[in-house]
Amino acid sequence: MQQDDYLIPRRLDDPPTFFFWDADIAVVMIIFLLLGALLGWALVGGVLGFLLARGLDRIKADGGQGVIPRFLYWYTPSEWWLKARAPSHVREYIG
């Protein structure tokens, strides 16, 4: 039997990518590039988007996958964007 009849993906759990960035980081780059183009400063928007995307990529690499939601949970007044969150002082739940 020949082994090359079908393809088995090697990385099933990889996040979606756009070129060499994760999709969420590429969105930051694209948004700033588009905003810069709309305002007539496409080069400035592209450079700013690249720098912010690169910084976000480094933050995610240092802190793990959920570093940004954890930061938003602890350091922002999130009553208006996350209504169903548990209070941060509660450590154990019964039931």
Note the pLDDT tens digit of each residue in 25-78. Answer: 899 999 999 999 999 999 999 999 999 999 888 888 887 777 877 877 777 776
Note the pLDDT tens digit of each residue in 72-92. Answer: 777 777 666 666 666 667 777
Q: What's residue 14's pLDDT?
A: 73
| Distance between CA atoms of residues 37 and 29, nearest Å | 12
Q: With both helix axes pointing from N to C terminus, report the angle between 42-63 and 67-75 in degrees, rounded to the nearest 10.
A: 90
Backbone angles phi, psi at 21, to 5 degrees: -105, 155
